[in-house]
Structure 1
Amino acid sequence: MYENCETEIIDIKVKLDEIHKDMRTFIEDSNREHLESLLAFVRDDYSNILEKHLINDIKAGLSKNMVRKCERLDECRSVFTDMLQKNAALIKEPSVDSDIFDKKRIDIKNLRKGMPYDKCDICFSEAADLFEKQISLMQSMRIYETKKDKKQDISQIPSQSVIDDVLDPLCHPKRFEILKAVSSQSMSFSFLSKLTGLRGGNLLFHLQKLSDSGMIIQQHERGDYMITSKGFKVMQSISEMYSALAPEEMIS
């Protein structure tokens, strides 16, 4: 009698667990559908406003941060404005293929190669920053989603690749400090030396680690260091993870 009762209780618990899982799945799906409908509403009703915001951001950024004493100023500003405005117009689209942005990044790099001055780095850095800000907004609106943005089964994550490509390059405090610094703007070797307190070969070792992992690049020989798309995504992910896990008083 007691054994039968115990078996029935176990069966009830199993069924309750199944019901709970079904309810949780239903709630998650409902929330996801609700979020998608809200985002679709925002895209449809506010796409013109968002595009105008991005265009104003372009004008303000280029006017403030491009090198003023340059005979190519007007020409380059026109090229950057045209490129960024066309990119901003994509916010009206329901979705944008990641290949489009990858091609635009390559176009920016190729355009830089044809410029004659070291000071051109400043203007191209500003244009690249504005470009990435536009992409970040589109990602938040679910207009643009890379394959890496989609959730992956934890069991399928390649352990050694994650360690070699992400965890090992960031495990040293100085390398993490460097990646944080170049996340907002390009940095020279001398500036990073002052920032980290490292000199010569010691600093070069850590920069090479980050470069080999594809998180930073040197704009040209002896040029400034800047974060790559991969490095920026890694830092964004770390920021989101830290914000979710850290006590409020630590992130306020």
Structure 2
Amino acid sequence: MLNENEDYKKEITEIKERLGNIQKDIKNLMENTNQQYIDLLLSNSKKEFITALTGYLNHDIENTLEKGMIIECELKNECKVIFKTFLQKNASLINQDNIPEEAIIENQAELNKIKSEAPFEKCKTCFNEISVLFEKQVNLMRSLCIYSTNQEKKQDISTICEETLVKHVLEPLSNRQRLQILKSMANDTKTFSSLSELTGLKGGNLLFHLQKLLDGDMILQRHERGDYMLTEKGYKLLVMLSEVNVLSGQKTD
């Protein structure tokens, strides 16, 4: 079990390194391309990564079940099908961008139900292996930042630095024209003149607002006197604001 845990940690480290390399590539490309292309690149990279990760999880399920289950048991093949179906169902959640806590709770309840119906004392051995596999999958979801419990989310909220959040997020977004500028870059880069025409701001006034967004790392300029474009932070904030807008019951422009 110790060697398996070490192998698992090593595999997770390798996966994180691959993710880090992908993020570096995207950051470099941001200086030379527009947001639409970045989104497409990120989407394709994610699909390839998820496909590879799903293959690893299915292999892990098959390999662990074969090694961990009691060999001399008349129900082994029947139970293996049940366990495999359950674990593959749980592993499929990894395709989601955000896994709701209820989904994991439901799967845990399903596992407990299967366990309660086990007919033999020796079934504990097999269920121990299944529980380890299930927990490994959930931990992987946490590592990928696509799953967290409500308690963990509350802990994240408690770490918010008010001064930093106001300075680098709320204050730059607290102006209608700056928000207008951000929205205009959601699908394409913008020139200074096109932003001037959009907002009605001229020269120094427009530069003031652009600088606020630049200082907040929400936009970047491709090169001196070049087009302006959204950063990853700016794009994510727009998505969050869109969700808040829906919750507030307001119609979008």
Relative contact order higher in (CA < 8 Å, ≥ 6 apart): 2
